[in-house]
């Protein structure tokens, strides 16, 4: 048996040579596949620049944008904090009956809607309160009550109620000409058309604010929408196929006539 030192040394030289060649191929500029290439110059970041820095900020704004009128619903009890056991019509009635001229806000019901509300038991088809929805919008692990109210002139009211301390607290109330109302996660999103900007709509996301203990409009957007009836149709044209005659059946064997059986005569 020969010495083992020479083969080991030769193998070490070959490994070192192969490693150096591999590194040279990977690290070379433009060196084939796997080489590092520049993506170009990175644009400089542009930060916000304040305009009119000497302009003093307003200390007493006339109205709070997104102000939501919250309040306890009088006379409504929620056993166990389960809003599923509460009648939505009774909740809206309790609020409207407790309103005074001083407490009537922009979300108060007009006279016609208020009369239809009182007649919900005898005329349910004309009741302005729609089927309620239940979603956890506050993150407390329990559902909140979401109520929709139809009003004249395509107005629609949305109210959200939170069950707490054995009763109900209204945490959101707004009225608008809505296109749709959606829930995404814990956001309640209202879409409304724009009368002054054709082809656009407003999208407002209402989100629970723990500090204010109410739902606030955290995002308000003006979004471009495609007007109906414009642009080419996305439905593909029907594919017309010419009728193809069926192939003729191959000729088969000639039919065989059934045998003729003569009637039996008298036996001799």
Count of domains forming the chain: 1
Give tens-digit pLDDT for 212-228: 999 999 999 999 987 65
Domain extent at residue 158: 71-224
Residue 6 lies in a domain: no
- Of 77-86, 238-247, 253-262, the poorest mean pLDDT is in 238-247
Query: Which whole number is the average pLDDT over 146-150?
Result: 97
With respect to residue 60, please indicate whether it lies within any of the assigned structural domains.
Answer: no
Per-residue pLDDT tens digits for 81-93 = 999 999 999 999 9
Residue 103 within a domain: yes
Mean of pLDDT values over 116-129:
95
Query: Does the pLDDT of residue 123 top 60, yes or no?
Result: yes
- The answer as to whether 82 is a domain residue is yes
20 in any annotated domain: no
Q: Is 3 inside any structural domain? A: no
Which of 141 and 102 is assigned the larger pLDDT? 141
| In-domain check, residue 91 | yes
Buried b (16+ CB within 10 A) or exposed e, 159-194: bbbbbbeebbbbbbbbbbebeebeeeebbbbbbbbe
Compare 261 and 76 and report the one with higher pLDDT. Answer: 76
Cβ–Cβ < 8 Å for 96, 74: no
Name the residue with higher pLDDT: 232 or 97: 97
- Quote the pTM value: 0.65
């Amino acid at each position: 048996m020969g010495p083992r030192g020479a083969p080991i040394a030769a193998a070490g030289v070959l490994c070192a040579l192969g490693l150096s060649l591999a590194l040279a191929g990977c690290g070379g500029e433009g060196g084939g596949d796997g080489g590092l290439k520049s993506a170009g110059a990175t644009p400089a970041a542009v930060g916000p620049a304040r305009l009119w820095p000497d302009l003093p900020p307003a200390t007493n704004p006339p109205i709070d944008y997104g102000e939501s009128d919250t309040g306890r619903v009088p006379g409504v009890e929620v056993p166990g904090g389960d809003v599923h056991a509460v009648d939505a019509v009774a909740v809206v009635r309790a609020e409207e009956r407790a309103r005074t001229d001083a407490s009537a806000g922009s979300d108060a019901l007009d006279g016609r809607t208020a009369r239809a509300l009182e007649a919900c038991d005898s005329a349910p088809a004309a009741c302005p309160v729609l089927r309620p929805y239940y979603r956890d919008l506050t993150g407390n692990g329990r559902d909140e009550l979401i109520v929709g109210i139809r009003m004249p002139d395509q107005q629609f009211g949305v109210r959200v109620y939170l069950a707490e301390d054995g009763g109900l607290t209204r945490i959101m109330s707004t009225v608008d000409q809505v296109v749709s109302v959606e829930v995404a996660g814990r956001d309640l999103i209202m879409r409304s058309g724009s009368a002054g900007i054709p082809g656009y709509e407003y999208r407002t996301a209402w989100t629970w604010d723990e500090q204010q203990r109410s739902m606030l409009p955290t995002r308000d957007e003006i979004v471009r929408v495609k007007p109906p009836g414009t642009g080419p149709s996305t439905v593909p044209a029907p594919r017309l196929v010419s009728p193809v005659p069926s192939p003729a059946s191959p000729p088969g064997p000639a039919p065989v006539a059934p045998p003729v059986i003569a009637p039996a005569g008298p036996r001799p």
